[in-house]
Structure 1
Amino acid sequence: MDFGVVFFPTVGPRDRPATQYFDECLALSELAEELGFRHVKTVEHYFFPYGGYSPDPVTFLAAVAARTTRVRLGTSAAIPAFTHPVKLAGKLAMLDNLSHGRLDVAFGRAFLPDEFAAFGIPLDESRDRFVEGVTACKRLWAEEDVVFEGRFHRFGPVTLLPRPVQLPHPPVFVTSARSAESVEQAGTDGHHLQTVPNVMTRETLQERLATYRRAWSAAGHPPDGARIHFSYPCVVAEDGDEAVRKGRFDEERNTAAISTAVRSWAATTSSAYPGYEKLADLTTRTTFDDKLRAGKVLVGDPDQVRGQLERIAEWYGDDVTVSLGIHSGHLTVDDAARTLRLLADQVLPKLPVTA
């Protein structure tokens, strides 16, 4: 197992100024590299406290690149539907150069109706725009004199500058939250997988991983070449009760943020998102204690969290990479730094890991 950090803000101006949140996350990114963590990621969302402080992951990751030398940088995830592929491929190629080839690119479809409405894009087009955008970016990175004729974008011949450092292109991940079809297609296409265990049962996630690994193998991709990334909220303290208390507070604020962001699904349906009209209700059904028992959050003292990570490896394989959500903005930056230090000093050395 490898470990890194992911920043998913769930705060707004009334909670914490954006300048303060960014400064804290940049300091934590430097600490993560110092302690041996392997990656730093951030998300793309708009308007709501649920991720809204991160409308452009490339901007934040460029700042991280300037402050670090080893840690890999990940979009978690960039949304092709909201950006022209020439612009998106160029921004990402530039970041790959600024970081000297440390970029991992995860693409996602997005799922919030209000975001699609703001960009003037129908929800029903999300899958087709996703596929077209990823295809166009990969061609722009790998080829010259690209002529592209898609449903939504037509351009060329163009040769992208700068060329990416990593050839033929940076590693490509697909972010999938609920779709078995998307997971299978990712394996077939040779894309790496990024997902959030919090949104499905352990059994369902195990089925998704089996589907992905079968599709990867059946398509003839290199054995053991697939990379799988999970994201977990994480709070570690010397006192397990304190960690649980703070973890509960943080997770309840995160749940409140997503509940507000998905509220419009109660009056929305889309053929591209079957069942999502129930999402507004589903986000409030599971409590923090339910998630802790089900292994969907990493919270406790060092020994407790080590046991939780051992269980994750047993359930899903010890080849997975764990992205730790250490700073949504509701706890202090000192809490987040303590979590990283305890993980590095007392948890990870006792696991069969490379971080």
Structure 2
Amino acid sequence: MMPSRSFSVSVTTPPPAVTMGIGLAWTTSTIVYVKMVEHYLHEYGGYSPDPLTFLAAVAARTQSIRLMTGGIQASFHHPVQIAAQAAQVDVLSHGRLDVGFARAFLPYEFDTFGVPMEGSRQRYRETVEAVLRLWTEKGVSESSEFFQYSGVNSLPSVVQTPHPPTWVAGLMSPETFSWAGDRGLNLLMASPPRAAELPKARENVELYTSCFQEAARETGGSPRVAMSIPLMIGETDTDAVDRALPRLRAHWQVFGEAAESLLHTHSSDYAKYPQIVKSIKEMTDDDLIETAIVGSPETVTERIVEFRRALSVDTFLWHIDYGGQAFNDMAGNLRRFREQVLPRLPE
């Protein structure tokens, strides 16, 4: 399917039948989000350079579904731009926007924008925190290594109070999980852990929850955990695996090609990433299946319950367009989830 055709189908077909980089989310009993990523210059996400523009188009064609950036690569943007542009979509959607942020990790994107990878963690965090202030305060001033302004008022004002729900992507760095909790932000797990990684992932989520609850003594709120994960439901486990494997191979091959240069990148802010890329490129078929929820309706239900119990996941962001699937296949997959899995799930 050509990209232009895919976007056309995406924004003219009512949820849940959508495609082209979108994640659809399930929270307890209903599909509630459309999510869009931000990437550039490569087949890995590069057809979605501006998630807010896409979500504005979705907002114009829907009435109740929530919209999520998953996420804005804050290291590449000025906080005033992010705050104003996101607020505009919040207004246009009548308060349906969730804003997810990600730090970015692909070296060629950093090179293209002239942003050094070293120091990007600090730039990312300062940008996110500046956006939150621009949404909630008047006469905001900032003077940092990365941006300076004085006495500014961001317009338009956001619709939601005090601001749109805000998520930050976390992969494996404990510092990210503790920072998200300390700031009272929602946690977006960028990918599911494989079995060997589950204890560390559980430890990180517990760290996030602990930090959030400590901060909530003053700020209020409850921790939320979302996970972005490929989904494939078949008549049987074997049927689902047969459908999923070639698509997962294609998906992770494209990721590996995009992330190849990380193997030769030396940055203290990304010290663990070369090993992550190496392990992904060496994945077996069994490993690939562990990166997704794959199986019969019964197996898929069990896996969802397991993730909810192990990692306190309350929102599953279904990745449905991986591996170049046909539109009808993706729509069918979501239909099976709605009809054969959703009724089995506990409230």
Query: What TM-score does the superposition give when structure 2 sets the normalisation length?
Result: 0.91
Q: Confirm or deny: 8 A CA contact 1:89 1:140 kept in the other structure.
A: yes
Residues 1:186 and 2:171 aligned together: no
Alpha-carbon distance change, 57 to 183 in structure 1, aligned in 2, over 3 angstroms: same
CA displacement 1:269-308 (0-9 Å, x = unmatched):
101111223343222122232243x4x3111222221122
Q: What residue in structure 1 maps to residue 155 of structure 2?
A: 161
CA displacement 1:162-206 (0-9 Å, x = unmatched):
100012211111111121111011101111100134356111111
Q: What residue in structure 2 maps to residue 10 of structure 1?
A: none
Q: What residue in structure 1 maps to residue 283 of structure 2?
A: 286
Q: What residue in structure 2 maps to residue 49 of structure 1?
A: 43
Q: What residue in structure 1 maps to residue 331 of structure 2?
A: 337
1: distance between equivalents of 2:169 and 2:244? 25
Q: What residue in structure 2 maps to residue 258 of structure 1?
A: 255
1: distance between equivalents of 2:91 and 2:15? 19
SS at match of 1:148: strand
Q: Confirm or deny: 8 A CA contact 2:106 2:259 kept in the other structure.
A: yes
Residues 1:19 and 2:4 aligned together: yes
1: distance between equivalents of 2:59 and 2:322? 21
Residues 1:202 and 2:198 aligned together: yes
2: distance between equivalents of 1:199 and 1:314? 14
Deviation of 1:340 (Å): 1.0
CA displacement 1:317-355 (0-9 Å, x = unmatched):
3x52111001136111111111111111110111124xx
1: distance between equivalents of 2:177 and 2:160? 24
Alpha-carbon distance change, 253 to 304 in structure 1, aligned in 2, over 3 angstroms: same
Q: Match of 1:184, as an amino acid? A: S
**Match for 1:175 among 169, 177, 185?**
169
Aligned positions of 1:83-162 closer than 5 A:
83-162=77-156
Alpha-carbon distance change, 69 to 90 in structure 1, aligned in 2, over 3 angstroms: same
Alpha-carbon distance change, 278 to 28 in structure 1, aligned in 2, over 3 angstroms: farther
Q: Confirm or deny: 8 A CA contact 1:197 1:205 kept in the other structure.
A: no
Q: Match of 2:225, as an amino acid? A: I
SS at match of 2:267: coil
**Match for 1:301 among 296, 314, 334?**
296
1: distance between equivalents of 2:63 and 2:278? 43
Q: Confirm or deny: 8 A CA contact 2:216 2:222 kept in the other structure.
A: no
Aligned positions of 1:215-294 closer than 5 A:
215-221=211-217, 225-292=222-289, 294=290
1: distance between equivalents of 2:268 and 2:287? 31
Deviation of 1:24 (Å): 3.4
Moved over 6 A (4+): none
Unaligned runs of 5+ in 2: 18-23
1: distance between equivalents of 2:13 and 2:201? 30
SS at match of 2:205: helix
Q: What residue in structure 1 maps to residue 15 of structure 2?
A: 30
2: distance between equivalents of 1:189 and 1:202? 25
**Match for 1:327 among 321, 326, 329?**
321
**Match for 2:63 among 69, 82, 85?**
69
Deviation of 1:140 (Å): 1.0
Q: Match of 2:9, as an amino acid? A: E
2: distance between equivalents of 1:299 and 1:66? 33
Query: What TM-score does the superposition give when structure 1 sets the normalisation length?
Result: 0.89
Q: Confirm or deny: 8 A CA contact 2:192 2:227 kept in the other structure.
A: no
Alpha-carbon distance change, 255 to 21 in structure 1, aligned in 2, over 3 angstroms: same
1: distance between equivalents of 2:252 and 2:285? 9
CA displacement 1:127-171 (0-9 Å, x = unmatched):
111111112111111112222222211113221111000122111
1: distance between equivalents of 2:45 and 2:126? 25
2: distance between equivalents of 1:329 and 1:166? 36
Of all paired residues, the percent bearing the same amino acid is: 36
2: distance between equivalents of 1:300 and 1:331? 17
RMSD: 2.0
Name which of structure 1's ranges 163-172 and 276-285 shifts more when overlaid on structure 2: 276-285
* Aligned residue pairs, count: 334
Q: Match of 1:297, as an amino acid? A: A
SS at match of 1:232: strand
